[in-house]
Amino acid sequence: MRWFGIGLGVGLLFLIAGYALGLFLPASYQANVSRVIDAPRSDVWAAINDYQDNPVTGRMAQKIIPLEEGGNTKVWVEDIGASQITVRDLESERNTVLRREARDSQVPMYATITIRLGDREGKTAVHVLNETRINNGTWQVPIFRLSLFFTRSLEDGLEDYLDGLEADLDSHQQDTLADKN
């Protein structure tokens, strides 16, 4: 029983120390991911703009709720279960650059995601930059900061997003080939 108490005390000490450390970590984080996708730039652009099939939150998205669309501006909510992320297009240059803002409903956290497209030997070069800021304000902030500081979660999230984008483009190409046959 004594060893159980010591183990519990040490575990609690680590938990408190980790939480306290998270309070002093930076508020801003950044990730860059680049990939060449074997598809025309116009197809990649269309897939990026299809937020129903390719949400910013990727596989975490359980439900997509469109809010408004007009001109180059789109706003929607991605429900990820414990929270909702409101995504808004900030800048859009057709087939070239798309800049979005994503804001969490539970944690004072927001991200600016910039997607740039270019040509690379008949394929599309995709570069994604995620700039995330986690402001003070809720008990979850230190935990999120610890996660972003000590893991590759931003990079992994961008890689997952591009994986989903490629899978969507591949399935569309397969559908097109099947329609031709």
Q: What pLDDT was estimated at residue 18?
A: 72
Mean pLDDT split into 10-residue runs, the chain, 181 residues:
77 75 89 96 95 92 86 86 94 95 95 97 96 93 91 94 93 63 53
Burial profile 85-108: b = 16 or more Cβ within 10 angstroms, e = fewer:
bbbebeebeebeebbbbbebeebb
Predicted pLDDT of residue 10: 75
Task: Please provide the DSSP assignment of 13-25 as one string.
Answer: HHHHHHHHHHHHS
pLDDT at residue 14, rounded to an integer: 73
Q: CA-CA distance, 27 to 47, in Å (whole number)?
A: 31
Quick one: pLDDT at residue 116?
A: 98
- Domains for the chain: give ranges and CATH numbers: 2-180 (3.30.530.20)
Q: What is the pLDDT of residue 68?
A: 76
Q: Output the pTM of the full model.
A: 0.86
Percent of the chain with pLDDT over 90: 69
